[in-house]
Amino acid sequence: MMHTKFKAALLAVVLLTSSGAAMAEETFWQWLITFTRQKEVKPVDNKTYADECGSCHYAYPPGLLPGKSWAKLLDAKALSNHFGEDASLDKDTLKTIYDYAMENAAEKSWYKRSRKITVATEDETPIRITDVRYIKRKHHDIPEKMIKGNKDVKSLSYCNACHTQADKGVFDSDTVSIPNYPDWD
Amino acid sequence: MKKQYILMSLIGALFMASAASATPATDELFARYKAEGATGFDAERGKKDWTKEGKVEDGKAMNCTICHGDDLSKPGKHHKTGKVIDPMAPSANPERFTDAKKIEKWFKRNCNDAWGRECTAQEKGDILKFLLSK
């Protein structure tokens, strides 16, 4: 009898904490309870961010860089020369994007890859995701001809050229398909 | 079934109407450019500006067609990122030039990227006039 009561109580606690967490952003409890959903990176869920960043390139989820990196990138002056391009935004739009990036930056997230990126960038402030040591390590065994020498990929920066579920924040190797190299595993 | 067709043609008509040679957004901008000192707008001048070369980047003399392509009714492609750019011609892309804020945002960025400076009100008006005729 005691046993069933205990189980019921445990179930209630689990249900309460998980449903509460589902409504909020990414919380410790959600991370603790639903393992499978936190393995990757939180997908972009802000329309302004998705539209503005996505109008020129894959809209990198904020969980791929720490806040200190986003602060460097998403600055009015920095954006007027964004890797060689003028990506200026009006003040209001920039604030929306900046706030969203800061709230969802790697160190604020409980998603596994964001945790790893947080650790990897503790002593540095990379402005390119491809400079994050964790990201480099994950890709270092892929031959150059498949990335730089591949006309349909060109650079490691084009995440979604190979990561078919990048828009969902999923980057595991099962979902990778390298253009022109269908047999790569 | 019939009702559906009527609805579809109505929607189609709506799109065609918005593809006309001026939109409330461009009217607003033409007025603003005039207030900033521009005098009358000319599609011919705009056409010349469209192909006028500016900065040299990666061995290419930058101009609007480098990314937007030669046929404005077809999609373009960004010379660096490879991102597909929807057609500029309103006849092919009714959504073009319906949002003043968006037009100004891209003028600022692209003038800087192609010519290394912001465009004047006169240049913007001429280019807009040229593009609207497409």
| Residue B2 touches partner A, C-beta closer than 8 Å | no
Distance (Å) from the alpha carbon of B53 to chain A's nearest alpha carbon: 17
Q: Which residue of B has its CA nearest to A83?
A: B80
Mean pLDDT of A160-175: 92
Among residues of chain B, what percentage have pLDDT more than 90?
A: 71
Higher pLDDT, B20 or A32: A32
Distance (Å) from the alpha carbon of A95 to chain B's nearest alpha carbon: 16
CA distance A175 to A40: 12
Write out pLDDT tens, residues B52-95. 998 888 788 999 999 999 999 999 999 888 889 999 999 999 99
Kindly provide the ipTM of the predicted complex, given to two decimals: 0.75
Q: Which residue of B has its CA nearest to A153?
A: B82
Break chain A into its structural domains and give their ranges.
Answer: 141-185
pLDDT-derived band at B107, boundaries 50, 70, 90: very high
Residue A165 amino acid letter: Q
Q: Which residue of A has its CA nearest to B81?
A: A57
**Given this model, what pLDDT does residue B19 score?**
45
Domains of chain B in start order, with CATH, are 2-132 (1.10.760.10)
Write out pLDDT tens, residues A22-70. 444 556 776 666 655 578 999 999 999 999 999 999 999 999 999 999 9
Count of Cβ atoms closer than 10 Å to residue B44 Cβ: 11
Among residues of chain B, what percentage have pLDDT more than 70?
A: 85
CA distance A174 to B13: 46
What backbone torsions phi and psi does residue A6 show, to the nearest 5 degrees?
-60, -45
Instruction: Indicate the average pLDDT of chain B.
Output: 87
Residue B89 amino acid letter: A
Structure pTM?
A: 0.77
Write out pLDDT tens, residues A99-126. 999 999 999 998 999 999 999 999 999 9
Tokens found for residue A21:
């967490």
Q: Do residues A120 and A134 lie in contact, with contact meaning Cβ atoms separated by under 8 Å?
A: yes
